[in-house]
Amino acid sequence: MLPWSADLAGRLEEHVVVSELLRGNPLGDPHERPVLVYLPPGYDDEPLRPYPVVYVIQGFTGNVAMWHNRSPWRQPFPENADALFARGDAPPAIVVYVDAWTRYGGSQFVDSPGTGRYHSYLCDEIVPWVDARYRTRRDPASRAIMGKSSGGFGAMITPMLRPDLFGVLATHAGDSLYEYCYIPEFPAAVRHLRRYGGDIWRWWEDFTSRVPFTKAEDATLINLFGVAACFSAHADGRVDLPFDPETGVIRPAVWQRWLDWDPVRMVPAHADALRGLRGIWVDAGTRDEYHLDLGASAFCAALREIGISDEIVHFELFDAGHGGIDYRYPISLAWLCHRMHANQAAG
């Protein structure tokens, strides 16, 4: 493999999906979305063979074109995934790279009046679109979802909400245990907002009227704003912060709306869905800046609590922070493919 390109053993198809569910979304973001569909080596040789599918979703600020981004001494995930299949290290699968970008940075893969219906778009538009065009296996035990950070969050909650679709998942440093991934950000945000009279909209106007990410506050505030738009928007799209912007005092009702989306806290109410899953990969770095190693531990503890066997769950902490952990994706992808292969044999 050369540093600036790679020939694939399989092939990567780039499509545009016209989403009716995203049409007219509150942010005016495009409703025509790119989707990448990777077909493993051999796909064309066995015209009747159906394949399991792995849906790959991205972290906050990600969009699907970034899968082509190149880093020094590393290959992009789609190339590493291809190499995995080419070497025979994983049973073949179709891999679908989904786009859920918004101009606020992301969608958390939920339906929200603040951003749009990205959960439904994923489940009710993308999945059927893929199934209609490719030789896919359609049982949940043959359909996986994986992601990192907000994408890991999406990979945890989507199967809880739609166990009829997804039976296998992998989360890398997925947002969870919100007291540790979100609360430590709030005081930083309060301090930043002092410069904007406590009004995050004033910051947003500033952010969008200049080169973004040139001010120290940009990263903290976009995360806060984007997540609030997903979790605590009003029906008319207005966004509530989960704290008083002057004092930082938590607003319990708003914060509860966030907590309702904490995967750790969601487990008991979705116990049946989770107990039906056929493979759950959970990992995070021991130095994760958002403390998602604790979130990962807590999520696994919650799974054990509802009686999910250790055989279903792979839990792993590794020495890393939140960034630069894309090298974990091929590892979990191989695991997911083996799981789905075994499910199929067993099923």
Binding mask 231-250 for its own copies (x = CB under 8 A): -------------x-xxxxx
Taking the complex as a whole, how short is the minimal distance between the CB of residue 52 and its own copies, in angstroms?
26
Taking the complex as a whole, how short is the minimal distance between the CB of residue 299 and its own copies, in angstroms?
9
Strand locations in the chain (E): 11-18, 32-39, 53-57, 94-97, 111-112, 116-117, 143-148, 168-172, 279-285, 313-318
In which region does residue 319 sit, left (phi positive, over 0), alpha (psi from -120 to 50) or beta (all else)?
A: beta
Decide if residue 3 touches its own copies (CB under 8 A): yes
Taking the complex as a whole, how short is the minimal distance between the CB of residue 48 and its own copies, in angstroms?
34
Decide if residue 105 touches its own copies (CB under 8 A): yes
Decide if residue 184 touches its own copies (CB under 8 A): yes
Residue among 17, 26, 63, 163 that touches its own copies (CB under 8 A): 63
Q: Are 280 and 313 in contact (CB under 8 A)?
A: yes
Residue 59 CA to residue 46 CA, distance in Å, equals 34
Q: Which residues touch 121 (CB under 8 Å, ≥6 apart)? A: 19, 21, 22, 33, 100
Residue among 49, 74, 87, 234 that touches its own copies (CB under 8 A): 74
Q: How many residues bind its own copies (CB under 8 A)?
A: 53
Binding mask 186-205 for its own copies (x = CB under 8 A): xx--xx--------------
Taking the complex as a whole, how short is the minimal distance between the CB of residue 205 and its own copies, in angstroms?
14
Decide if residue 256 touches its own copies (CB under 8 A): no
In which region does residue 177 sit, left (phi positive, over 0), alpha (psi from -120 to 50) or beta (all else)?
A: left
Select 13 or 164, whichever has its Cβ closest to its own copies.
13
Select 52 or 285, whichever has its Cβ closest to its own copies.
285
Secondary structure of 223-277 as H, E, C letters = HHHHHHHHHCECCCCCECCCECCCCCCECHHHHHHHHCCCHHHHCHHHHHHHHCC
Residue among 8, 12, 17, 61 that touches its own copies (CB under 8 A): 61
Decide if residue 122 touches its own copies (CB under 8 A): no
Taking the complex as a whole, how short is the minimal distance between the CB of residue 47 and its own copies, in angstroms?
32
Q: Which residues touch 229 (CB under 8 Å, ≥6 apart)? A: 102, 104, 112, 114, 115, 239
Select 129 or 180, whichever has its Cβ closest to its own copies.
180
Q: Which residues touch 160 (CB under 8 Å, ≥6 apart)? A: 263, 266, 267, 270, 273, 274
Burial of 176 (0-12, 13-18, 19+ CB in 10 A): buried
Taking the complex as a whole, how short is the minimal distance between the CB of residue 128 and its own copies, in angstroms?
22
Near its own copies in 258-287, by CB under 8 A: 264, 286-287
User: At 46, is the secondary structure helix, strand, or coil?
Assistant: coil
Q: How many helices (H) and strands (E) does the chain have?
A: 13, 10
Decide if residue 23 touches its own copies (CB under 8 A): no
Residue 281 CA to residue 168 CA, distance in Å, equals 8
Taking the complex as a whole, how short is the minimal distance between the CB of residue 119 and its own copies, in angstroms?
20
Residue among 11, 49, 70, 133 that touches its own copies (CB under 8 A): 70
* Beta bridge partners of residue 14, listed in sequence order: 36
Contacting range for its own copies; rule: CB under 8 A; set: 131-139, 145-153, 154-162, 289-297: 289-297
Binding stretches for its own copies (CB under 8 A): 2-5, 30, 34, 61-66, 68-70, 72-74, 99, 101, 105, 177, 179-180, 183-184, 186-187, 190-191, 211-214, 244, 246-250, 264, 286-287, 291, 293-294, 297-298, 301, 319-320, 324, 327
